[in-house]
Chains A and B, each alone.
Chain A
Amino acid sequence: MFLGFFYYLREQGLKISIGDWMVLLEGMEKGLHESTVEGFYFLCRAVLLRDESEFDLFDQAFSAYFGRVLEGGSLPQDLQALLEKIDPSLPENAKQQDAGRSDAMLAMDGIPGTPGSGKNAPGPGSGSTGGRTAIFAPGSRKFRDFRKDNTLDTRQFQMAFRVLRNLSAQLETSEQEFDIDRTIDGTCRRGGMLDIQYRKPRKNTIRVILLMDSGGSMRYFSRLCSELFQAATASRHLRELRTYYFHNIVYSLLYKDPTIEIRDDNCISVDGLMTECDEKYRVIFVGDAEMHPYELEGTEYNFVDKKPGLPGSETLRLLKRHFPHMIWLNPIPLHEEGYDPEGTRRTIASIVDMYDLTLDGLERGFRFLLSGKK
Chain B
Amino acid sequence: MIRQSQLETSQSYVAAEDLLKTVNIALTLEKPLLVKGEPGTGKTMLAHAVAESLGKELLIWNIKSTTKAQDGLYTYDVVQRLYDSQFGGQVDDIGQYVHFGKLGEAFRSEDQVVLLIDEIDKADLEFPNDLLWEMDQMEFYVQETKETFRAKHRPIVIITSNAEKELPDAFLRRCIFHYIEFPNRVQMRQIVHAHFDRIDEELLQQAVSTFYNIRSTPGLMKKPSTSELIDWLRALTLDGIDPAVIQQELPYLGVLLKKDKDFNLVKKGK
- Residues of A at the B interface (CB closer than 8 Å) are 17, 19-20, 23, 26-27, 30, 32, 39, 42-43, 45-47, 49-52, 55, 120-121, 123-125, 128, 133, 135-136, 142, 146, 153-155, 158-159, 162, 178, 180, 183-184, 187, 192-194, 234, 236
CB–CB A17/B18 < 8 A: no
> For residue B102, which residues in chain A have a CB less than 8 angstroms away from its CB?
none
* Sample of 19 A–B contacts (CB below 8 Å): A17-B173, A26-B29, A27-B29, A32-B24, A32-B28, A39-B21, A43-B25, A46-B176, A46-B177, A50-B169, A50-B173, A124-B17, A125-B4, A125-B17, A125-B190, A135-B16, A155-B125, A155-B166, A180-B78
Instruction: Count B-side interface residues using an 8 Å CB cutoff.
Output: 43
Are B29 and A42 in contact, with the CB atoms below 8 A? no
Q: Please, which residue of chain B has its CB at the minimum distance from the CB of A128? A: B17
Q: Which residues of A have CB within 8 Å of B186? A: 120-121, 123
Contact partners of B29 in chain A: CB under 8 A: 23, 26-27, 30, 32, 47
**B259 in contact (CB, < 8 A):** no
Nearest-Cβ distance from residue B82 to partner chain A, whole angstroms? 7
Also in contact, A155 and B22, with CB within 8 A (given A46-B176, A123-B187, A183-B82): no
> Is B236 among interface residues, defined by CB-CB distance under 8 A?
no
**Inter-subunit contact A52/B36 (CB<8 Å):** yes
Q: Is the CB of B173 within 8 A of A42?
A: no
Contact A55–B16 (Cβ < 8 Å): no
State whether B82 touches A46 (Cβ < 8 A): no
How far, in whole Å, are A154 and B125 apart by their CA atoms in the complex? Answer: 11
Closest CB of chain B to A199's CB: distance in Å?
15
Assess the B28–A155 pair: CB atoms within 8 A: no
Q: Does B115 contact A (CB under 8 A)?
A: no
Query: What is the distance, in angstroms, from A32's C-beta to the closest C-beta of chain B?
Result: 5
Q: Does B223 contact A (CB under 8 A)?
A: no
Residue of B nearest to A135 (CB): B18
Interchain CB contact under 8 A, B16 and A124? yes
Contact residues, B78-111 vs A (CB, 8 A)? 78-79, 82-83, 85-86
Within the assembled complex, what's the spacing in Å between the Cα atoms of A19 and B175? 12
Contact between B190 and A123, CB atoms less than 8 A apart = yes
Known A43-B25, A47-B25, A49-B177: A194·B31 in contact at CB below 8 Å: no
Nearest-neighbour CB distance to chain A for B179, whole angstroms, equals 4
Question: Could you tell me the distance in whole angstroms from the C-beta of B167 to the nearest C-beta in chain A?
Answer: 8
Q: Which B residues touch A133, using CB under 8 A?
A: 17
CA–CA, A251 and B167, complex, Å: 40
Q: Which of A47, A51, A55, A128 contacts B176 (CB 8 A)?
A: A47
Using Cβ atoms and an 8 Å threshold, which residues of chain A touch B65?
236
Which residues of chain A are near B40, meaning CB under 8 Å? none
Q: A50-B169, A125-B14, A194-B83 are in contact. List 6 more A-B contacts (CB 8 A).
A: A27-B29, A42-B18, A50-B173, A125-B17, A135-B16, A193-B86
Closest to B125 in A: A158
Contact call B86/A192, Cβ cutoff below 8 A:
yes
Chain A residues whose CB sits within 8 angstroms of the CB of B4 once the complex forms: 124-125
Looking at the assembled complex, report how far the CB atom of B192 sits from the nearest CB atom of chain A, in whole angstroms: 12
Asked whether B168 is an interface residue with its Cβ less than 8 Å from the other chain, the reply is yes
Query: Quick one: which of A47, A125, A153 has the most chain B CB within 10 A?
Result: A125
| B35 smallest CB distance to A (angstroms) | 11
CB of B234 closer than 8 Å to a CB of A = no
Cα(A218)–Cα(B77), bound, Å: 54
